[in-house]
Amino acid sequence: MDNLHRIRHRPRTHRLPAQVGTGGPGGRTGLSVAGCRLHGMTELRENVERYWRAAEARDWTAFAGTLAEDVVYVLPQTGERISGRERYVRFNREYPGDWHARIERVVAGPPDQVVTWVRCTVGEEETDALSFFTGDASGRISTVTDFWPEPYEPPTGREHLVERS
């Protein structure tokens, strides 16, 4: 793997321009964007990162701790929906294969939304997943909507304008 490939594909984190502020319960520090407190956004972002770490480690107790009791998981491409923490944890725990997930990018936006791009592997097969998270008032994950895009060949006629990886 050449260095350019490594640079292009290293995990990245994008954040809104922010200033560190003080306040909140117990004098906690938080982020402020245009004067708005973003404690909830940063809590959800950190919780989503814990979610992926726990999933990768197969730590289902920690994974469950990131979720609201009434979490809803939606797969628009297959039309599937799972409601409730216990069922969603079981869905992940029982998913077949020795799968692994690596965060490529995390984008957080106020007030309670986080998006991740995750590279998933099962054996030699690799695929990308885009996950949209919404949080509840406590910073726990209340909805997860997953998209699993499939690679495809581009249409002809633009070869002179593009580079292929």
Q: What is the pTM of this model?
A: 0.73
Structural domains of the chain, ranges and CATH numbers in brackets = 3-14+40-147 (3.10.450.50)
Tens of pLDDT, residues 120-162 = 999 899 999 999 999 999 999 999 999 999 888 989 999 999 9
pLDDT of residue 164: 87
For every residue of 31-90, which 3-state class applies, written as one string? EEECCEECHHHHHHHHHHHHHHHHHHHCCHHHHHHCEEEEEEEEECCCCEEEECHHHHHH
